[in-house]
Amino acid sequence: MAEILFELGLMLVALVAAATIAHWLGQSVIPFYVVSGMVMNPFVLGRVEYAPLSGYAIELQAYITLLAELGIVFLLFFLGLEFSLDRLFDSSEKIGKSGALDLVVNLPAGVLIGLALGWSLLEAFVLGGIVYISSSAVITKSLIDLGWIANDEAGPMLGTLVFEDLFIAFYLAVLSAVLLGGGELATIAVDVGVAIAFLFVLVSAVHFGSEYFGRFLDTGSEEMFVLRAVAITVFVAGFALTIGVSEAVAAFFIGMGFSGTDHLHDLERRLIPLRDLFAAVFFFWIGLRTDPSVFPAVAGIIVLLVLVTTPTKLLTGFLSGRIYGLDDRRSVRVGCGMVTRGEFSLIIAAIAADAVVGGAVLTEIVPAVAVGYVLVMSVLGTTFMQYSGLFERFVVDNRSAATAD
Amino acid sequence: MTVYESDLPGVGKKFEIELDDETTLVVVIHNTGKRELFRREGDEDSVKLFELSDRMARQIGTILEGAYFQPIATDTTETMLDDDSLLEWIKVTESSELVGRTLGELEFRSETGASIVSIQRDEGTESNPGPETVIEADDTLIVLGTREACRRVESLAGSDMSVEADAEEDDT
């Protein structure tokens, strides 16, 4: 149908406009993608009084959801692809310490806020995940843009992200089994059991079968290569979903399976464009299903989260820098860098929105809070990194003043 | 020369090369193939020098290696220790009379006046080889001695010229 193609084109044009503005402002593209989706949705553009314009509003349709789903799958696939257990074990002590510190401060911070709001433990646990996980995509991009990648502060930042990524894989597995399975405690237990069993099979396949993963891609032709890689990823992720296991986590482990093969660089080179395209649609889709008129109702929660979880990340980031033996100045940078939240918080929110257990808190309030929170934190985090000099001077001056006394 | 190599998860690899006490050259190789070069003075921030595409980096790397132009006559790989002794890398050809014989049989040191510091072969480097060590074809002998002693080893090893730079690279 011609209309669908036109609508897809319209969506892509909106994304291009969003990306252009983001680059122009020196910001990450993620919040701008989300806002572009929000602007184009029936709640905003659809309510414009001027009929010819409101006709261009994009309805949430199955095909957009499908493309967004592919965005999630590819985001996690790449996370797995770039994740290496060897790397984790190589510097396991430092990564373990800074990662554990990050976890025991930031996750409970979100959980406690949730409980303080009178939410159930499950709802609070979802909120904890949303505020815990920093944005690998935005932070890594900023590291490269600012040239910090060549400095020592890159070590603790990327190390902590590796820890978070591994944790979030298990977190998502448990969360989606609980939220999407629904029902009695017994059913939930079975769902979690199935999820863990399936993941165990996948992990064993990854561990023992890396040779087969490699051979599967040993094909002379370029089209076959891309087709095979995408086919196995989408097939396994889709199958996982049919048995109630998180597709994102399945994709993560498939990516991990390929990370040990000789094809790592080819996969990165050829599939990154796919990931970037589908991920953009994912962020658009998040915006598309968000009615901005809900923000006033949750603004208080968002402000509270920002006020509490910005300092906690600054603190744990700073201490991670110290664990890596960095000086005050560079440790402050690590703190500034870790503030950004992004894609994973939104993935958690998307799972919550589809939850069959719990009530309106999970399906309405949590997603709205997450979108608002990510919009603030991604801009705030990127800005902190750009102007980290101010924080550095503040901390270093205070420290030297303290020693002078 | 010390090169520090570290992984950058999700980005690629980083190599840090100490140029002198103060200055470090940082090379970031992205998974996409892009290379970025930075210069860092002491504790200062790294300053980006330039970036190269994968193709350009390879081309420039070959130029730096001296593949197109050797600035001085370096047809032998040698390191002068003082005025009359030097360290030389010498490749053993298949037809050499040394092949298949032990250092003991050859009475290597008294015959040539040079000592073998170590032997590089495919499977690794044997440091400080003893009299029972057998010389094989394609070995690279790292020899210490006077210029004349080294020439004698060269003629026994059957190579007119010593190995070029590739042997030395393994060492860095």
Least confident of A67-76, A393-402, B106-115, B156-165: B156-165
- The partner residue sitting opposite A265, judged by closest CB among B7, B31, B43, is B31
End-to-end CA distance of chain B: 7
Which pLDDT score is estimated for B156? 85
* Range among A68-82, A230-244, A304-318 with highest mean pLDDT value: A304-318
Percent of chain A whose predicted confidence (pLDDT) is above 70: 95
- At CB < 8 Å, which residues of chain B contact A? 6-11, 14, 26, 28, 30-33, 36, 38, 40, 43, 45-48
Mutation target to probe the B interface, by most B beta carbons within 10 A, among A95, A134, A144, A327 is A144
Which pLDDT score is estimated for B162? 43
Which pLDDT score is estimated for B165? 38
Tell me: pLDDT of B117 over 50: yes
Q: For residues A245 and A201, is the Cβ–Cβ distance under 8 A?
A: no
Per-residue pLDDT band at A401 (split at 50, 70, 90): low
Per-residue pLDDT band at B76 (split at 50, 70, 90): low
Higher pLDDT, A380 or A86: A380
- Nearest chain B residue to A155 by CA distance is B8
Tell me: pLDDT of B73 over 70: no
- Nearest chain B residue to A79 by CA distance is B10
* Residue B64 C-alpha, separation from nearest chain A C-alpha, in angstroms: 22
CB-CB neighbors (< 8 A) of B46 in chain A = 147, 150-151
| Nearest by Cα to B37 from B61, B21, B71 | B61
Tokens 């993941």 appear where?
A199
CB-CB neighbors (< 8 A) of A159 in chain B = 9
Partners of A149 in the β-ladder: none
- The partner residue sitting opposite A82, judged by closest CB among B10, B38, B43, is B10
Tell me: pLDDT of B169 over 80: no
Tell me: pLDDT of A132 over 90: yes
Tell me which DSSP letter residue B124 carries.
Answer: E
CB-CB neighbors (< 8 A) of A151 in chain B = 40, 45-46
Interatomic CA distance for residues A319 and A160, integer angstroms? 11
Q: For residues A347 and A142, is the Cβ–Cβ distance under 8 A?
A: no
3-state secondary structure of B44: coil
Interatomic CA distance for residues A234 and A73, integer angstroms? 7
A82 touches chain B (CB under 8 A): yes
> Average pLDDT of chain A?
86
Using CA atoms, how far residue A218 sits from A85, A258, A269, A272, B32, in Å, is 23, 12, 16, 19, 20
- The partner residue sitting opposite A268, judged by closest CB among B31, B46, B47, is B31
* Residue A59 C-alpha, separation from nearest chain B C-alpha, in angstroms: 35
Question: Would you call A268 and B32 a contact, using CB atoms and an 8 Å cutoff?
Answer: yes
Rounded to 5 degrees, φ, ψ at B84 are -125, 15
Tell me: pLDDT of A404 over 60: no
pLDDT one-digit tens code per residue, B25-44: 999 998 778 999 999 988 88
* Residue B66 C-alpha, separation from nearest chain A C-alpha, in angstroms: 27
Q: How many CB pairs under 8 A join A and B?
A: 59
CB-CB neighbors (< 8 A) of B14 in chain A = 149-150, 154
Which pLDDT score is estimated for A284? 94
Q: Domains of chain A, with CATH numbers? A: 9-396 (1.20.1530.20)
Amino acid at A189: A
Question: Would you call B8 and A151 a contact, using CB atoms and an 8 Å cutoff?
Answer: no
CB-CB neighbors (< 8 A) of B48 in chain A = 147, 150
* Residue A141 C-alpha, separation from nearest chain B C-alpha, in angstroms: 9
pLDDT one-digit tens code per residue, A149-207: 888 898 899 889 888 988 888 888 888 888 877 666 777 778 788 888 888 888 888 77
Mutation target to probe the B interface, by most B beta carbons within 10 A, among A79, A91, A98, A149 is A149
Query: How far out from the chain centre does Cα A237 lie?
Result: 17
Question: Would you call A158 and B11 a contact, using CB atoms and an 8 Å cutoff?
Answer: yes
Q: Which of 243-272 (A) contact B at CB < 8 A?
A: 264-265, 268-269, 272
| Nearest by Cα to A76 from A250, A235, A266, A227 | A250
CB neighbours of residue A11 within 10 Å: 21
Question: Would you call B45 and A140 a contact, using CB atoms and an 8 Å cutoff?
Answer: no
Question: Would you call A140 and B26 a contact, using CB atoms and an 8 Å cutoff?
Answer: no
ipTM: 0.71
Interatomic CA distance for residues B20 and B5, integer angstroms? 17
Which pLDDT score is estimated for B163? 43
Which pLDDT score is estimated for A335? 93
Which pLDDT score is estimated for B172? 39
- Nearest chain B residue to A333 by CA distance is B45
> What 3 state SS string does chain A have?
CHHHHHHHHHHHHHHHHHHHHHHHHCCCHHHHHHHHHHHHCCCCHHHCCCHHHHCCCCCCCHHHHHHHHHHHHHHHHHHHHCCCHHHHHHCHHHHHHHHHHHHHHHHHHHHHHHHHCCCCHHHHHHHHHHHHCCCHHHHHHHHHHHCHHHCCCHHHHHHHHHHHHHHHHHHHHHHHHHHHHCCCHHHHHHHHHHHHHHHHHHHHHHHHCHHHHHHHCCCCCHHHHHHHHHHHHHHHHHHHHHCCCCHHHHHHHHHHHHHCCCCHHHHHHHHHHHHHHHHHHHHHHHHHCCCHHHHHHHHHHHHHHHHHHHHHHHHHHHHHHHHCCCCHHHHHHHHHHHCCCCHHHHHHHHHHHCCCCCCHHHHHHHHHHHHHHHHHHHHHHHHHHHCHHHHHHHHHHHHHHHHHC
* Range among A30-34, A254-258, A288-292 with highest mean pLDDT value: A30-34
CB-CB neighbors (< 8 A) of B32 in chain A = 268-269, 272
- Nearest chain A residue to B12 by CA distance is A82
